[in-house]
Amino acid sequence: MLPVIFPKLHKGTICRYLDLNIEEHNARSDILLLIIGDSSLYQSGGKHASYATAWGCYADAWKMKARAIDPLNVPTCEAKDPDFGRFCAQARILEGMQDLGRQRQTLSELGLSQLPRWIFHVDSGTLPLSRRLDLRRFVYAGRHLVFSEEFHTGRILPGPYISSVSNHSALFFRAWEHRAMDSLQLHLLDWLRNELLYSGQTRATLTNLTDSLLWVAKLYKNTQDTATHDVYTAAAKFVLGPRRQFRHLVILRRGMGFCAEASFPVNLTQAAVLGQRFLCVQAPDVIQQLDPQCLETVFRCEAWLVDCLGTSETNKDLLRSIRSYEPQRMSLGMVNDVQDCWPNCPADVSARTWAEMEIGLSYNARCHPHQSRVGCCCNDFNIIEEHRAAQKADMYLLLIVSSVGVLIGMAFGTRHCYRRWRRGRRRASLSGEVELTHLPQRFKKSSQTV
């Protein structure tokens, strides 16, 4: 058996990093692939060492540079909690790249010869599916940050993500480094507070934006388990509204992000088709079920993960499964918002879908954990179905009222028209009589003139 390839270790003045590239090459891509986290996970012998190697293989295939950094090796970040340290490291790197006085030193410490335009942060527990998809597919012109939603919860994931090498991104991560990883949704709401309007109108929930953000912050602080975290996420999505594209930031919708997830309603071990739509897979438990010998070839850059997956799941299966998915978590507001559009959903949630989603989110955001059940906080009735039934009842009642109104209107109109006809006929008769009484006089005058 050939040995698995492990990254090379480098040490610089500011930080110590792992060079994930297997081959020596000049970067042709303007994207830097970056892993930030506990180095014990991706160094030789670590739980995710082979995963980091696979990302090095992907980077080589696209001629991009790939690095792994432990926040403990970045000044001012080493004493922070791992969640905080991760974003601290990203902020320091972006600051160094933007500061003309430190730019050359920062690039040198990362083993880079040219300044990247983008940084793709990838979780160490993910694996690239193949070399088929270019990372630039996920780059949005004019946007600085790209995040994605988790499929089964709808929460905004703290990774993977893309950030531009810009002052805007540096400021974003500098602010985020003072929050925990799970607070991303709260941080985004605060960051986007000037854009939490849509269609030129203020939503009822945002009549007082400060109060809305304080409400979400309070729910975040109260998170203790799955139920309370879902309540927090439901509130965050409720306040966020239907928009997913903002001036400087994009949130990729459920099932349209960077990675396929373990929660996808398909058998991932038989879904090689995922390689056509997703860059990576975020499912370590699923990967462990694959053929070990095939995985060894992946970790030696001789094959790709899709080569180890079966093919019984087809594009049609994937389409049907995702569109027919029934939400199991309260944070989705009991609505599968991609059920009528995946995989070609618009960037923002449609007005029609949001009208239903908003109802479920508003109920679940105010839910007491002890009153919740799977996917719903509604005292054992489905508020969405009740709302649809109520709408149908309202439409039926409106139809009846309208029909009765028309009949009454017709009856009233008939009597009214008859009266108007009688008055009009009498007026015409009188007018005719007046006109006739003047005729002889005009005739006489004419006769006399002649």
Is residue 98 domain-resident?
yes
What local confidence, expressed as pLDDT, does residue 178 receive? 76
User: Among positive and negative, which fits the CA dihedral 105, 111, 113, 115?
Assistant: negative
Q: Is the pLDDT of residue 202 over 60?
A: no
What pLDDT score does 29 carry? 94
Q: What is the pLDDT of residues 77-99, one digit of tens each?
A: 876 676 678 889 999 999 999 99
Give a yes or no: residue 372 inside a domain: no
Q: Give the residue from 33, 107, 41 showing the smallest Cα distance to 63.
A: 33
Structure tokens at 274: 């995922």
> Considering Cα of 331, then 269, then 54, then 27, what sign does the dihedral take?
negative
Q: Do the domain assignments include residue 35?
A: yes
Q: What is the pLDDT of residue 84?
A: 76
Q: Any idea what DSSP says for residue 249? A: E
- At residue 11, φ and ψ (nearest 5 deg) are -130, 130
Do the domain assignments include residue 312? Answer: yes
Any domain includes 8: no
Q: Which of 88-97, 116-125, 207-216, 329-338 has the lowest average pLDDT? A: 207-216
The count of domains in the chain is 1
Global pTM value: 0.81
Domain membership flag for residue 431? no
The closest of 56, 57, 61 to 28, measured between CA atoms, is 61
User: Quick check: 391 pLDDT over 70?
Assistant: no
Q: Is residue 299 part of a domain?
A: yes
Q: Is residue 418 part of a domain?
A: no
Note down the domain range covering 222.
17-366
In eight-state DSSP terms, residue 112 is -
DSSP conformation class of 201: B
- pLDDT of 320 strictly over 70: yes
Residue 420 pLDDT > 50: no
- The model's confidence at residue 283, banded by pLDDT at 50, 70 and 90, is confident
Instruction: Write the pLDDT tens digit of every residue in 137-191.
Output: 999 989 999 999 999 999 999 999 999 999 999 999 999 987 766 789 999 999 9
Residue type, 17: Y
260 backbone dihedrals φ, ψ, rounded to 5°: -75, 140
Collapse the DSSP code of 441 into the 3-class scheme (helix H, G, I; strand E, B; otherwise coil) and give the result: helix
What is the CB neighbour count within 10 angstroms for residue 374? 9
Distances (CA, A) of 226 to 188, 337, 373: 21, 21, 11
Q: What is the CATH number of the domain that holds 218?
A: 3.90.550.10
Which pLDDT score is estimated for 13?
Answer: 42
